[in-house]
């Protein structure tokens, strides 16, 4: 990844897919991290109410390998998105942008004092070295069954808009968070048409009793159709034992819907670059 300031010849967003929903984003000198999860293969993530899930993959980086971060975007407070490695090893002075529910807990119980809890459609801006990222909280629903909504932590999607400080955005990146597809997500496309890249949390996470709480392949493809981003990066699959929908399901359904040419085939540990000039995404 380049660490040089963004200019006319380098207006691009670099992505490093660390694993699960953890992606390192760099736009010139500004660096963000999403949903930090650094547990190792064989370790267990705590999902609440005594539920655990064993990790099946190894993260591409450890917290100690990260560059200096300007911010962390956390979709919700679950053990496979914010784990004990993040709690212990991330710099507690780093700003964290998340839900009000998670913000209260990170501040009070974990000492991350610079945590901001955003309500849906609210936003804030992070700046560094003459560039900025505007982060807007978007709707998300972790469970379809009303009985589960009070048991699972609230979740948010995010729109990240990158560009020169104080000027219109050059690139838009949508992070779905652990949501299912429902009609409330349609408002995203009306407010933020034509995102350059959608990073979708898939996996079809299934809890005891058969309750599905993240998008499976069919839902991920349907959300791609509804929001119509220029490109789609699937994440959050194959990483934990509770994930029951393989990536191949999503790829097959996306192809059936005529979206196959929009998929970014970036494996765990892989890198990609999104350019502002044409909205293209290329593997690095």
CA–CA separation, 245 vs 257, rounded Å? 18
What superfamily in CATH does domain 12-265 come from?
Ribonuclease Z/Hydroxyacylglutathione hydrolase-like (3.60.15.10)
Q: Residue 243: beta bridge partners?
A: 205
DSSP assignments along 144-186, one per residue? SSHHHHTTSPP--EEEEEEEETTS--SEEEEE--S----GGGH
Report domain extents, the chain: 12-265
Confidence bin at 62 (pLDDT 50/70/90): very high
Phi-psi domain of 82 (left: phi exceeds 0; alpha: psi -120 through 50; beta: other): beta
Give residue 5's pLDDT.
39
pLDDT class for 71, splitting at 50, 70, 90? Answer: very high
pLDDT digits (tens, 9 = 90+) for 7-49: 433 689 999 999 999 999 999 999 999 999 999 999 999 988 7
What phi and psi, each to the nearest 5 degrees, are found at residue 96?
Answer: -120, 130
Residue 6 pLDDT exceeds 80: no
The whole-angstrom separation of Cα 19 and Cα 58 is 7
User: Do the beta carbons of residue 215 and residue 202 sit within 8 Å?
Assistant: yes
Q: Alpha carbon of 191 to those of 34, 101, 123, 194, 195: distances in Å?
A: 22, 24, 13, 10, 10
pLDDT(100) > 90: yes
pLDDT at 49: 76
Give the pLDDT confidence of 183-239 residue by residue, as tens digits: 999 999 999 998 999 999 999 999 988 999 999 999 999 999 999 999 999 999 999
Q: How far apart are CA 61 and CA 122, in angstroms?
A: 31
What is the pLDDT confidence band of residue 145, given thresholds at 50, 70 and 90?
low
Whether 2 has a pLDDT exceeding 50, the answer reads no
Does residue 37 contact residue 80 with C-beta atoms inside 8 Å?
A: yes
pLDDT at 3: 35
């Amino acid at each position: 990844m380049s660490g040089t300031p963004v200019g006319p010849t380098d207006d691009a967003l670099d992505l490093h897919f660390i694993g699960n929903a953890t992606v390192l984003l760099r736009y010139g000198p500004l660096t963000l991290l999403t949903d930090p999860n650094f547990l190792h293969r064989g370790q267990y993530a705590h999902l609440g109410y005594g539920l655990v899930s064993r990790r099946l993959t190894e993260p591409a980086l450890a917290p100690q390998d990260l560059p200096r971060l300007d911010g962390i975007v956390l979709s919700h407070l679950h053990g496979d998105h914010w784990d004990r490695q993040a709690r212990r090893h991330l710099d507690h002075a780093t700003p964290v942008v998340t839900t009000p529910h998670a913000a209260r807990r990170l501040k009070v119980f974990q000492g991350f004092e610079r945590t901001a809890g955003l309500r849906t459609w609210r936003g804030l801006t992070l700046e560094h070295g003459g560039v900025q990222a505007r982060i807007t909280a978007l709707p998300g629903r972790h469970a379809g069954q009303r009985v589960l909504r009070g048991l699972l932590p609230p979740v948010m999607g995010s729109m990240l808009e990158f560009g020169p400080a104080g000027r219109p955005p050059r690139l838009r990146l949508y992070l779905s968070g652990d949501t299912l597809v429902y009609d409330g997500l349609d408002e995203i496309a009306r407010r933020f048409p034509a995102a350059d890249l959608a990073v979708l949390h898939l996996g079809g996470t299934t809890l005891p009793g058969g309750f599905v709480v993240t998008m499976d392949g069919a839902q991920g493809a349907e959300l791609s159709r509804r929001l119509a981003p220029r490109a789609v990066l699937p994440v959050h699959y194959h990483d934990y034992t509770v994930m029951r929908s393989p990536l191949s399901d999503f790829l097959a359904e996306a192809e059936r819907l005529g979206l196959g040419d929009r998929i970014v085939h970036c494996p765990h540990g892989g890198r990609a670059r999104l350019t502002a000039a044409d909205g293209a995404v290329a593997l690095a």
